[in-house]
């Protein structure tokens, strides 16, 4: 029997205004970076990777899936890591696709549980007006540690734990038949990286190593969770993200405060989208006195 076809489609949605607790230098509007989610599909079934953040975003994503593939069955939703912008759309999506099962690695699932157990004041301040759904626990299950694969009509999709990247317990999904790595937030493409959880050189080195792990699969396509709208999904983003992490480390040693760090990064690595990620990371690296 011939193997079914396999394809990847991408849903891109713009960055969203995010309100920092302290205005960014120059009082500029700051955006959470633009998002990309991936829909893998074969003849009859589909697997979605990540979910977006707000109820409105997840609803529009569900509309797109139904419009594109009214006859395909969404079987799984894979979550790359435990940041809210990659899984808080789950409730909305599972309402629309009740036959789908949300899955993640054991580490990522524990991270999602941790986030939901926290006080949500900060996320509600960033995105006011009840934009986000916070279930009591993640509506997802862990993939068994001895078999991190998802079957898509005979095509294997492989979940690869990658440890610390822009947060702990991240992972990527490797699609051997397309030589494609779907990497969540391990890599960025034309947007500012979230250094807010990598404030020392040990964690930054771990992040660089997680990118080396992606490289070791020799992908031909690297699909990132946040990219500048319209940017091609090239493999150059792997090295560029590592360079940016090293740039951050070198400037931490010389910057005087959050504003100075912000301006130094802007000067050294300009014209990226998602300035909220930059400003918030500067505030975490150099907390105001
Ligand atoms: Zn993200």
CATH number of the domain that residue 155 is part of: 3.60.15.10
According to the model, what pLDDT value does residue 24 have? 97
3-class DSSP assignment, residue 159: strand
pLDDT tens for residues 65-111? 999 999 999 999 999 999 999 999 999 999 999 999 999 999 999 99
User: Separation of 17 CA from ligand 1 center, angstroms?
Assistant: 14
Q: Are 182 and 157 in contact (CB under 8 A)?
A: no
Answer whether residue 19 is part of any domain.
yes
**pLDDT for res 289:** 81
| DSSP strand pairing (16-17 vs 45-49) | unpaired
pLDDT at 125 (0 to 100): 87
2 is a domain residue: no
142 assigned to some structural domain = yes
pLDDT at 119: 86
82 CA distance to ligand 1 middle (Å):
9
**What confidence score (pLDDT) does residue 121 get?**
84
Mean of the per-residue pLDDT values for the chain?
96
Q: How far does the centroid of ligand 1 lie from the alpha carbon of residue 143, in Å?
A: 21
For residue 185, the CA-to-ligand 1 centroid distance in Å is 6
Report the number of distinct structural domains present in the chain: 1
The Cα 14–Cα 31 span in angstroms is 9
Would 160 be classed as within a structural domain?
yes
Q: Percent of the chain, pLDDT > 90? A: 93
Q: What average pLDDT does this structure show over 168-180?
A: 97
- Per cent of the chain over pLDDT 70 is 99
253-267 b/e (C-beta count within 10 Å ≥ 16 → b)? eebeebbebbebbbe
The domain of 187 spans 7-285
Q: What mean pLDDT do residues 283-289 have?
A: 94
Task: Phi first, then psi: give them for residue 258, nearest 5 degrees.
Answer: -60, -45
Cα 147 to Cα 149: distance, rounded to the nearest angstrom: 6
- What's the pLDDT band for 13 if we cut at 50, 70, 90? very high
Give the model's pLDDT for residue 2. Answer: 58
Residue 52 lies in a domain: yes
44: in domain: yes
Tell me how far the alpha carbon of residue 97 lies from the centroid of ligand 1, in angstroms. Answer: 23
Ligand 1 center–CA 70 separation, angstroms: 28
Question: What is the 153 CA–ligand 1 centroid distance (Å)?
Answer: 29
pLDDT at 1 over 60: no
pLDDT attached to residue 186: 98
Distance CA 176, CA 152 (A): 12
Separation of CA 226 and ligand 1 centre (Å): 7
CA atoms of 139 and 175, how far apart (whole Å): 24
Residue 90 token pair: 């789950």
Separation of 3 CA from ligand 1 center, angstroms?
33
Looking at residues 38-53, what average pLDDT do you find?
A: 97
Confidence of residue 120 (pLDDT cuts 50, 70, 90): confident
Indicate left, alpha or beta for 38 from its phi (over 0: left) and psi (-120 to 50: alpha). Answer: beta
Decide if 1 is inside a domain: no
Task: Tell me the mean pLDDT in the region 23-32.
Answer: 96
Ligand 1 centroid–CA 225 distance in Å is 6
Task: Check: CB of residue 154 under 8 Å from CB of residue 4.
Answer: yes
d(CA 128, ligand 1 centre) in Å = 18
3 has a pLDDT exceeding 80: no
Beta strands in the chain (DSSP E): 7-13, 16-17, 31-32, 35-41, 45-49, 73-78, 101-104, 141-142, 149-152, 155-163, 170-175, 180-182, 221-223
**230 CA → ligand 1 middle, Å:** 17
Residue 33: the pLDDT is 96
H helix or E strand, kind and range, residue 239: helix 236-252
- Other C-beta atoms within 10 Å of 87: how many? 30
Q: How far is the CA of 87 from the centre of ligand 1 (A)?
A: 9
């Amino acid at each position: 029997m011939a193997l079914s076809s396999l394809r990847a489609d991408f849903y891109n949605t713009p960055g969203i205004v995010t309100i920092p607790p302290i205005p960014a230098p120059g009082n500029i509007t700051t955006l959470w970076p633009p998002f990309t989610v991936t829909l893998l599909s074969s003849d009859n079934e589909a697997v979605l990777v990540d979910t977006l953040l707000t109820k409105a975003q997840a609803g529009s994503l569900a509309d797109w899936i139904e419009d594109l593939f009214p006859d395909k069955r969404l079987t799984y939703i894979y979550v790359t890591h435990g940041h809210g912008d990659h899984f808080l759309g789950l409730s909305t999506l599972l309402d629309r696709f009740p036959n789908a099962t949300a899955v993640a690695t054991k580490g990522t699932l524990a991270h999602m549980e941790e986030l939901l157990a926290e006080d949500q004041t900060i996320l509600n301040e960033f995105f006011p007006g009840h934009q986000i759904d916070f279930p009591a626990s993640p509506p997802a299950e862990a993939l068994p540690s001895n078999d991190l694969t998802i079957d898509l009509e005979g095509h294997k999709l492989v979940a690869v734990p990658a440890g610390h990247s822009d947060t702990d317990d991240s992972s990527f999904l490797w699609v051997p038949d397309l030589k494609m790595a779907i990497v969540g937030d391990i890599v960025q493409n034309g947007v500012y990286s979230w250094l807010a959880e990598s404030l020392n050189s040990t964690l930054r080195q771990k992040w660089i190593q997680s990118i080396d792990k992606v490289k070791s699969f020799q992908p031909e396509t690297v699909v990132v969770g946040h990219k500048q709208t319209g940017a091609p999904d090239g493999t150059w983003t792997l090295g560029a993200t590592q360079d940016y992490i090293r740039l951050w480390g070198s400037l931490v040693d010389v910057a005087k405060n959050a504003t100075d760090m912000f301006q130094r990064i802007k000067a050294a690595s300009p014209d990226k989208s998602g300035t909220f990620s930059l400003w918030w990371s500067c505030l975490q690296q150099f907390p105001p006195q």
